[in-house]
Amino acid sequence: MNCSTVRSVSIAGASCGRPPGSAAAIIARVSSDADRVRKSLSAGVSVRTPKAAEQIARHLRGLIVRGETAPGTMLSSEKALLDEFGVSRPTLREAFRILENEGLIVVLTGARGGARVQLPDLGVVSRQIGYYLQAQQTTLRDLLEARAEFEPICARLLAERRSDDTLRELDELVASLIADAEKGFATGAEYAAWVHSTRALHELIAEGCGNNTLAAQARSLSEMLGAHRRVSLRSVDYRPGSPETIAEIVADYARLAENVRSGDGGAAESLWREHLRRSTEIVFRAQDPDTVVNLLD
């Protein structure tokens, strides 16, 4: 038996000097899968055999997402991995391409090159979701409606689960936004830049709510809205709101900080739901609600 190829590795793996539970044994399942495929085909059932690269990617993916291999860690050298998995260099590199496309590793070149582990970037995930939504002709109204449902819940949880660090960050951010607003906006571009900077507040509400699932949804929506806003700046005339409108907006920010500080989740949720309703009305003054969301420069 030649242990250098997947096709000849037995499921036991021990005959090649590797323990049955090693990574090589995982890849050896390809042979077992092939046997099952032959039996399934004889029974008239169509079954796809996972490629060796997919098996390797699945194994390494599991190590990364379970936290067994920490972000920033370099995977073993290419030579070591080739020996461990008993596959060819093109097969290993195909596995790397799979993981790199998923945002789980980055392949570095040079003398100290190799595959470095990283966590998936929510921004990348959001863009993929955004491209799907744009392809589905999703409108700005649809996107803002979703945010109006997710974010108030995050605001309530933020108030109920606040930490000292979150309170400090919220106070600093709100104070900065209020100070910039009080300076006024000489041009539409300045106003648009300020509106874009308020995205940090929306992200803080999501990140500080203590629920990873809600936070990911809210952050994803914020990423998509931010991308749409950047693209639409080329064609939309963002005129500064009236002093009264700006005053209402920043007053909401101040009241939200007070609600969070006092731990009043119900008040925070109600306030933020009403704030998003009024903010949506302001957005619709500048853009058609039925505009298809645009994320492409």
Read off the amino acid at residue 261.
R
- Given a cut of 90, is residue 264 above it in pLDDT? yes
Question: pTM (2 decimals)?
Answer: 0.71
Average pLDDT over residues 143-170: 95
C-alpha to C-alpha distances, 93 to 50, 72, 124, 184, nearest whole angstrom? 16, 19, 22, 55
Q: How far apart are CA 150 and CA 81, in angstroms?
A: 44
45 contact partners, CB below 8 Å, separation of at least 6: none
SS3 76: coil
In this model, does residue 279 exceed pLDDT 80?
Answer: yes
Mean pLDDT taken over the chain: 83
Say whether pLDDT at 237 is over 90: no
pLDDT band at 229 (very low <50, low <70, confident <90, very high): confident
Of 1-10, 99-108, 135-144, 211-220, the one with minimum mean pLDDT is 1-10
Position 11 scores a pLDDT of: 29
Task: Please give the pLDDT value at position 2.
Answer: 45
| 242 Ramachandran zone, left/alpha/beta (phi>0; psi -120 to 50) | beta
Note the pLDDT tens digit of each residue in 34-78: 455 445 445 554 545 578 999 999 999 999 999 999 999 999 999
Q: What is the C-alpha to C-alpha distance for residues 91 and 114, in angstroms, rounded to an integer? A: 15
Q: Which of 3-17, 136-150, 189-203 has the largest mean confidence?
A: 136-150
Domains, the chain: 6-117 (1.10.10.10), 123-286 (1.20.120.530)
Per-residue pLDDT band for 158 (boundaries 50, 70, 90) equals very high
DSSP-H helix ranges across 76-211: 78-85, 89-101, 122-135, 140-160, 164-183, 188-197, 199-207
Cα–Cα distance between 154 and 170 in angstroms, integer? Answer: 14
- Note the pLDDT of residue 146: 93
- Asked whether residue 4 carries a pLDDT value surpassing 50, the answer given is no
* pLDDT confidence bin for 31, thresholds 50/70/90: low
* The predicted structure's pLDDT at residue 296: 79
What DSSP string describes 221-234?
A: HHHHHHHHHHHHTT
- How many Å apart are CA 21 and CA 13, to the nearest integer? 8
**Could you report the per-residue pLDDT of 181-196, keeping only the tens digit for each?**
988 888 777 887 888 8
Burial class (CB in 10 A: 0-12, 13-18, 19+), 281: exposed
Nearest to 119 by CA among 164, 66, 40: 66
| pLDDT higher than 50, residue 1 | no
Separation between Cα atoms, residue 41 and residue 33, nearest integer Å: 12
**Cβ neighbours of 222 (radius 10 Å):** 22
Q: What is the pLDDT of residues 76-116, one digit of tens each?
A: 999 999 999 999 999 999 999 999 998 899 999 887 889 99
For the residues 153-168, what does the mean pLDDT come to? 96
How large a percentage of the chain has pLDDT more than 90? 54
- Least confident residue range of 160-164, 180-184, 254-258, 268-272: 180-184
Q: What is the pLDDT at residue 240?
A: 65
> Which of these ranges, 34-48, 158-172, 187-201, 245-259, has the smallest mean pLDDT?
34-48
